[in-house]
Amino acid sequence: MKKNVKPGAAAVSFLVLLLIQAGNPANVSALQTHGGPEGLYAHQGAHLFLVISLVIFLLNIRRLQLKRYKAWRLFSGGAFLLAMWSIWAFIGHVAEIMTPESSFVTLPGHSVPFLQVGSWRDVLFYFVKMDHLVCLPALLFFYAGLKKLLSEFSENGTQ
């Protein structure tokens, strides 16, 4: 006996099965699993992409001779610092991988751990972890540029 199946009901059933399978990916041989390193590589790749795009942004500002204007000088400063930060953070992630868990010790009476500094690598790790020293000024430059532009827009209209 032939059974009539409605297309809508079939689609819903398919989606439900797909969701059940998605919750159990090991059983699906066609699904490629993503391990931990892939996430790190993607993150590092994003840092490099950010550096490249900011460098292109800076080159465009230079090509258009926008540095004549104070707002654009400030944007340039912000973009430069943000690119520096991205490189800084990239190195920070590498240093983090190279620093073993055993390098961190918590002394009695101290809530914040200590770093056992025995090589240049540990020193590098210590300093690159303070990336806000570059990142926050980058944003401040950008904010100053926006403020300057706002005052120019207020004075001169939209021209």
Partner 1 sequence: MTLWSLSPVWFIDFSGSLGMIVVSCLCLGTARRINRKAPEHALASYLLWLSAAIFAFSISRSLGHIIKHGLYFSGYSDTWRHLSPVSGSINTLTFVVIGAVTLYFRQIETIMNRMSRDRDKITVFSRELLELNRDIESIVSERTRVEMGLRFAHEIRNPAMIIGGLARRMDKNMPEESPDRERLKQIVDQSEKLETLVNMLDQPEKKSSGKFEALELSALVEDVITIVQDEADRKGIIIILDRAPSPLTFQGNRHLIKIAFMHILRNGLESCASGDTIQVVTEAGERTVIAKFEDNGPGIPQEIADHIFDPFFTTREGSTGIGLPYVKQIIEEHNGSIVLSSSKNTGTLILIRLPPLLGELSRQE
Query: Can you give the binding site for partner 1, defined by CB under 8 A?
Result: 39, 42-43, 46-47, 49-50, 52-54, 56-57, 60, 64, 79, 82, 86, 104-105, 107, 110-118, 126, 129-133, 135-136, 139-140, 142-143, 146-147, 149-150, 153-154, 157-158
Q: How far is the CB of 22 from partner 1 (least distance, A)?
A: 18
Q: Cβ closer to partner 1: 6 or 63?
A: 63
Q: Cβ closer to partner 1: 22 or 55?
A: 55
Structure tokens that stand for 117 in this block:
């500094």
Burial class (CB in 10 A: 0-12, 13-18, 19+), 12: exposed
Q: How far is the CB of 147 from partner 1 (least distance, A)?
A: 6
Residue 25 has what DSSP assignment? G
Report the C-alpha gap between 146 and 111 in whole angstroms.
41
The one-letter code for the residue type at 51 is V
Report the C-alpha gap between 5 and 154 in whole angstroms.
65
